[in-house]
Amino acid sequence: MAELKLADYKTTVHNDWCPGCGDFGILNAIQMALSEMQIPRHKAVIFSGIGCSGKTPHFINVYGIHTLHGRVLPFAQGAKIANPDLEIIAVGGDGDGLGIGAGHFVGAGRKNVDIPYLIFNNAVYGLTKGQASPTLRLGEKTKSLVTPNTSNSVNPIALALVSGFTFIARSYSYDVKHLKDTIKRAITHKGLAFVDVLQPCPTYDDIHTREWYQGIDKQETGKAMPRIYKIEETGYDGTIKDESEINEKMTRILQFSSEWGDKIPVGIFYQNELIPSYHERIAENNKEYFAKPPSHQEISDNKNNPIAKIDKILDKLQIKD
């Protein structure tokens, strides 16, 4: 098969995101990851929620399923459980995944279906004109808020950890290479992978701007001090190789998760493939699941007769004199 180029993963659909939107970096990174991994276009499916991030699938030239607000994870899990051969990527906003969809975030963690899930995290509800999202901190007042935020923020990394996600990472939309590499790792991970993507909203978030992440306001040493640092560069490795490491690692991840402000960690906090995926759990009771998942099941013969044989079930219910 001919090599697929980056351009092959792009559609001609007009992109109506605001100029300078962090979403562009994420879109590019996803397309680059797909291209570098040479994932056949028809094998890949991007599922999205609602909001600016929800439009992502329309810009990627693979199957694209733009679902409902907050529900991207159950939609995507249903498809992946029914057909584990598909390469499914779920994307959504922070309001989508951690507000209206928070119940599914936790529910998905418990299942560990083999999909990567990217949250485009910009602390505001962009498409509805800048209301506070679940990741905006208490007391912060972004541009279109009438009063400072009266709700506290949820901690996505910690929530993913306690919910049971088996891969947890963070990246930054303007570091496309780091993001692309992280997405590739998330795709390859066996199990549910969460990538928290810091993504400035240039229109409504006047606090967490690109310049703020760059540390333009922090000139103590004479030059900007970027807020983001890579945990791999500190020698940290989030891979769990033995179950005995889990408790210590979890404590360390919770520490990372609470770092914010002057030092914001990115990288892979956690990867644990010792926990069986939901698919493996199904296969324990249904040995042929991987060979014949729901989507591959034959249900009728060539004359459209059902091929299920229910005699044994009926015999049990039949009246025997």
Partner 1 sequence: MSFLTSVNSISWLIGGPQGSGVDSAANIFAKTCAKEGFHIFGKREFYSNIKGEHSYFTIRISDKPVNSHLEEINVLVSFDAETLFRHADKVSAGGMIIYDSSLVETVLEEVPTIDFEASNRIRKLLQDSGQSMNLNGMLEFAKSRGCRVYGLPYFEMLETVAQKMNDPKLSKISRVVNVMAISASISLLGIKKDKLINAIQEVFGSKPKLLASNIEAAEYAYSYIGTKYDTKNITYNLTPKDALKDYLLLSGSQAAAIGKIVAGCRFQTYYPITPASDESEFLESNQIIDQVDGKSGSIVVVQTEDEIAAITMAIGASLTGVRTATATSGPGFSLMAEALGWAGMNEVPLVVTMYQRAGPSTGLPTRHEQSDLLFAINAGHGEFPKIVLASGNIEESFYDAIKAFNFAEIFQLPVIHLLDKAISSSIQTCKRFSNDLKIERGEFKNTIDKNQSEGAAGHFQRFKLDDSPISTRVPIGTENAIFWNTGDEHTEEGHISEDPENRNKMMDKRMKKLDLALEKINQDDMAICHDFDSDGKNVVVSWGSTKGAILEALEKLSEEGNKMKFVQIRLLHPFPTETVKNFLKEAKLVIDVEMNYTSQLGSLVQQNTGREVDYKIVKYNGRPISTTELYIALKAILSGNNERRIVLDGGT
Q: Would you state the structure tokens that stand for residue 279, as one six-digit string?
A: 């698919």
- Member of 28, 67, 121, 257 binding partner 1 (CB under 8 A): 67
- Member of 74, 93, 134, 156 binding partner 1 (CB under 8 A): 74
Closest of 106, 250, 255 to residue 192, by C-alpha: 106
- Member of 86, 123, 132, 197 binding partner 1 (CB under 8 A): 86
Is 37 near partner 1 (CB under 8 A)? no
Q: How far apart are CB 90 and partner 1 at their closest, in Å?
A: 10
- Member of 8, 18, 39, 43 binding partner 1 (CB under 8 A): 43
- Angstrom distance (rounded) from CA 103 to CA 42: 30
Query: Which residues inside 205-264 make contact with partner 1, applying CB under 8 A?
Result: none
- Count CB-CB contacts under 10 A for residue 268: 24
Between 118 and 228, name the residue whose CB sits nearer to partner 1: 118
Alpha helices in 53-93 (DSSP H): 72-82
- Residue indicated by tokens 């923020």: 153
Is 127 near partner 1 (CB under 8 A)? no
- Member of 61, 142, 182, 271 binding partner 1 (CB under 8 A): 61
Beta strands 116-121 and 193-198, pairing class:
parallel
- Contacts within 8 Å (CB) and 24+ apart, 66-69: 69/96, 69/100, 69/101
Stretch that binds partner 1, among 120-128, 136-144, 173-181, 282-290 (CB under 8 A): 282-290
Q: How far apart are CB 20 and partner 1 at their closest, in Å?
A: 22
Is 12 near partner 1 (CB under 8 A)? yes
Stretch that binds partner 1, among 221-229, 249-257, 267-275, 291-299 (CB under 8 A): 291-299
- Member of 29, 50, 52, 253 binding partner 1 (CB under 8 A): 50
Is 9 near partner 1 (CB under 8 A)? no
**Which letter does DSSP use for residue 231 in this model?**
G
**DSSP code string of 248-266:** HHHHHHHHHHH--SS-EEE
- Member of 68, 216, 225, 246 binding partner 1 (CB under 8 A): 68
- Angstrom distance (rounded) from CA 196 to CA 171: 6
- Angstrom distance (rounded) from CA 33 to CA 5: 11
- Member of 11, 128, 152, 239 binding partner 1 (CB under 8 A): 11
